[in-house]
Amino acid sequence: MTSLLKQTEQTLEKAQADINPRWYPRYHLAARAGWMNDPNGLVWFDGWYHAFYQHHPYSPEWGPMHWGHARSKDLVHWEHMPVALAPEGPADVDGCFSGSAVVDGDTLALIYTGHKFHGSPDTDDNLYQVQCLATSRDGIHFERHGMVIDTPSGLHHFRDPKVWREGERWYMVVGSRVENTGQVRLYSSSDLRKWQDEGIFAEADEGMGYMWECPDFFTLEGKRVLMFSPQGIAAEGYRNRNLFQSGYLLGEWQQGQPFTHDGQFIELDHGHDFYAPQSFLTPDNRRIVIGWLDMWESPMPEQQDGWAGMLSLPRELSLGDDYRVRMKPADEVTALRGSYYPTPACCLRNQKVLITADAEAVEVQLVWDLNASTAEQFGMALGDGLRIYADNQAQRLIVERRYPEYSLVGTRSIPLPADGLLTLRIFIDRSSVEVFVNDGDACLSSRIYPHPAQRDLSLFANHGVATLQQAGYWSLDK
Ligand code: FRU
């Protein structure tokens, strides 16, 4: 371990002891202390799932990026590991930015962006982003090999390599910005060290953003998926409401050709906070995605508690008959379930019914019969700050958060399902909610900041009747 990494561990140990735990997740992954953003290098290696992440261990603000590290046997119980990479080489002197991991024989390889300025950091003209390699035999200690791809001439924003194996070669997509157009570049290699430029893989059409961050490319049930996080798409009605988006294009690709897409960009998650998702394969070939459960430039009240940022639950992807990507909690998530508390399936009429006084870490399951529900609004509330409800007039499912003391007030929503049943799996942690709709149709994820004394969970129906076919919750245990 380098002396910088040793110092980082000492700092984290001290900072961890000082954290205020009121909003620190009970069953999601967050940094021990300090700042976290994107998930990086998600991979199965040597009997463990590894999650690396963008990390600033020295404060709960974004700063020179390190790679934090945790590992898990089951994707839900995580063990913190020593920080894997610090910005300490000539190629990554100002930060080890996002990237990915692959298993090459008995070696775990991390491919990430080295971020550096040649001169003053006040202008992008001095910014250089290059792709770097680090390898490990034990999955814990990494040997750094420095730069493997230099910044293409004329570019400055060139980051977030995602590597995969196809046929006899390694391929890499990299996000980039060419003037005001987002792009994905493609490279290929036989040994992860020497890379061949394969040209432009995909490019933003008019209005599709000035920078495409965190590209990821994979096959899902025979279709090719380009998942990425564009910056610079304008909000339109209910769509693209967040400052930045994350979503996908479906299409076709053959080696030696650019990617061609069939339809429009679709957001992966419809809540307030989901960005920079990355995918990986489990040993039994499920495609799992984990995202950063935050949004750039959004208030993060937990910063006053000594930490910031968390990752989403692992979600399994599949392809719907309508060629939309479906996303539901990975099966492993049920391992968190403790006792089940059924709420007598019932009818609510202009009333509010308490389910539990203290919902800190729970999974709620609700099956609403929309055809037998005339109430104008009906759903679930957590304290005064969060409501997840069907609005019968707007015909939408709404996630509404109201934390005016932190400037976090507003709604996100999706259309109500047409087929009469609204099945919700709602995961509440100390400062997050993830709502999975109709077994994969849609997901809405948001950060929430309830006062610890206001975690009462209730069901309500306003102005009419609402009918539940099933209702109950599990307490979730670590
Ligand atoms: C995405 C991102 C990446 C970059 C990293 C820096 O959230 O902006 O493009 O590599 O975060 O921390």
Cβ atoms within 10 Å of 91's Cβ, excluding its own: 23
Question: Please, which residues have CB within 8 angstroms of residue 84's CB and are 6 or more apart in sequence?
Answer: 52, 66, 67, 68, 69, 110, 134, 140, 142
Q: What is the pLDDT of residue 478?
A: 65
Which residue's CA is minimally distant from atom 8 of ligand 1? 213
What pLDDT is attached to residue 3? 87
Q: Mean pLDDT of successive 10-residue segments in the chain (478 residues)?
A: 92 97 98 98 98 98 98 98 97 98 98 97 95 98 98 96 96 97 98 97 96 98 97 96 97 93 95 98 98 98 98 98 96 97 91 95 98 97 98 97 98 94 98 98 98 95 97 91
Residue of 213, 246, 292 to mutate, ligand 1, most atoms within 8 A of C-beta: 213
Q: Is 67 in the pocket of ligand 1 (CB under 6 A)?
A: no
Which atom of ligand 1 approaches the CA of 113 most closely? 10
Ligand 1 centre distance from Cα of residue 368 (Å)? 39
The atom of ligand 1 lying closest to the CA of 275 is: 7
Nearest ligand 1 atom to alpha carbon 296: 7
392 lines ligand 1 (CB under 6 A): no
Residues with Cβ within 8 Å of residue 311, at least 6 apart in sequence: 28, 29, 30, 36, 39, 51, 53, 290, 291, 292, 293
| Ligand 1 neighbourhood includes 187 CB (under 6 angstroms) | no
User: 317-324: long-range contacts at Cβ-Cβ below 8 A with a sequence spacing of 24 or more?
Assistant: 317/220, 317/225, 317/279, 317/287, 317/288, 317/289, 318/220, 318/221, 318/287, 318/440, 319/220, 319/221, 319/222, 319/223, 320/440, 320/441, 323/223, 323/250, 323/262, 323/263, 324/266
Q: What does DSSP say about strands 307-308 and 34-45: parallel, antiparallel, or unpaired?
A: parallel
pLDDT at residue 477, rounded to an integer: 81
- Write the DSSP symbol of residue 10: H
Is the CB of 54 within 6 Å of ligand 1?
A: yes
For ligand 1, whether the C-beta of 162 sits within 6 Å is no
Query: Which atom of ligand 1 is nearest the CA belonging to 159?
Result: 10
* C-beta 96 within 6 A of ligand 1: no
∠ Cα 361 294 11 (to 5°): 85
Q: How far is the CA of 335 from the centre of ligand 1 (A)?
A: 31
Q: How far is the CA of 162 from the centre of ligand 1 (A)?
A: 13
Which of 65, 151, 159, 177 has most ligand 1 atoms within 8 Å of CB, for mutation?
159
Whether residue 276 has its Cβ less than 6 Å from ligand 1: yes
Interval between CA 289 and ligand 1 midpoint (Å): 17
> Is residue 97 within 6 Å of ligand 1 at its C-beta?
yes
Residue 159 in contact with ligand 1 by CB distance below 6 A: yes
Active-site residues, by number, are 38
pLDDT for position 233: 97
What is the CA(213)–ligand 1 centre distance, in A?
Answer: 7
Quote the ligand 1 centre to 47 CA distance (angstroms).
Answer: 28
226 CA to centre of ligand 1 in angstroms: 18
- Which atom of ligand 1 is least distant from the CA of 211? 9
Q: Is 245 in the pocket of ligand 1 (CB under 6 A)?
A: no
